[in-house]
Structure 1
């Protein structure tokens, strides 16, 4: 499976509100850029508690969702307004699974967890309800860790080269976050996927134990 990368984006941390610093305001690059195991060159992550680290090197958001948000908000939404590093056409949280491996340029990337909409996104859109609107829609985007470092450039194609055998979709994990938090079968599936970010697996493991102990 191949996906068209519409834009590769980077940005520096800036103050966007009193006490709120973020690198959500990114811009598209025009030349090749190096991706290491911790960051894409020229990019920054302000909130290292919730962003960045080896499990969250690159954030992807689907290009097709921009039309949806323009209709919902009744105004133009410029790329990359969701702070994503990769704006990709035709990709979906329903179809992509935790642990799936992709090639992009010289790099090899692995899906690690969904992006969780937060107050920074709400502030970016000047809408206190926007983070919840995004999580309710399921159009969250997701993160990659880097298995192989290298250069990427505009025009590169994102290629799925290995599907994870458990096929736990990004949408499945979103359900455990937002809509189906006590689904025992889904929790059991999630904690088996070692490619899911460790802190998230531990959170789901604890939740499962609490549910089972309460019965």
Structure 2
């Protein structure tokens, strides 16, 4: 499968009461940039992340969201959701982000990325959009976008092809993980096959499957 990048987006510093960071600053407002951007193992060069306790790091170095899902939200809310409107670094076109398999590899520009986990909506997200019930609506929609590891650092830019170069046989997708964790707990045992999930996620799944508490 080959899609493309519709936009590469970098966060600007936003100060607001709804910002999750204790300092009241957030980088959820991401905007398209011209030219190539370096994707590093620890994140996107030039991007601002406010609440690093919950965002960023090797397993969440890059966040991708499908432009087609953004179009659905534009129709749902009756307003345009621009590239970066979900706080995503990469806005994709013709890429099945929800159907991406955990651990699959994307070649984009000179970088190679690995799909790791879905995004979990937060109050900062709802505040940024000014939609109080957004977390509930986003959860029910179950098209959360995908976090990615950077396996090979490199530059990417708008218009670059997104090529899936490897896909694990277990077939556990971003959408399945999100639904299992939030909507359909009967799917939880299946997630244990996706060994490429970040260890904190796998540990949470193990606890829930066994019925134990942390």
Alpha carbons of structure 1 residues 47 and 88: separation in structure 2 relative to 1, 3 Å: same
* Higher mean displacement: 78-87 or 105-114: 78-87
Note the alpha carbon deviations across 1:76-116, whole angstroms, 9 max, x for none: 22222101000001223442110011101111100000011
TM-score when normalising by structure 1: 0.91
Secondary structure of residue in 1 paired with 2:132: coil
Q: What are structure 1's unaligned runs of at least 5 residues? A: none
List structure 1 segments (4+ residues) > 4 angstroms apart after TM superposition. Answer: none
Aligned length: 209
- Unaligned 5+ segments in structure 2 are none
Q: Secondary structure at the residue paired with 2:196?
A: coil
RMSD: 1.7
Task: Identify the residue that residue 15 of structure 2 maps to in structure 1.
Answer: 15
Quote the Cα distance in structure 2 between the aligned partners of 1:62 and 1:3: 10
Matched, 1:170 2:182: no
d(CA) in 1 for partners of 2:163 and 2:25?
A: 33
> CA offset at residue 16 of structure 1?
2.5
Question: Aligned partners of 2:16 and 2:9: how far apart in 1?
Answer: 18
SS of equivalent residue, structure 2 residue 177: helix
Asked if 2 retains the 8 angstrom alpha-carbon contact of 1:93 and 1:138, the reply is no
State the distance in 2 between where 1:94 and 1:59 align: 13
Alpha-carbon distance between aligned partners in 2 of 1:130 and 1:188, rounded to the nearest angstrom = 28
Q: Which residue of 1 aligns with 2:39?
A: 35
> Corresponding residue for 2:200?
199
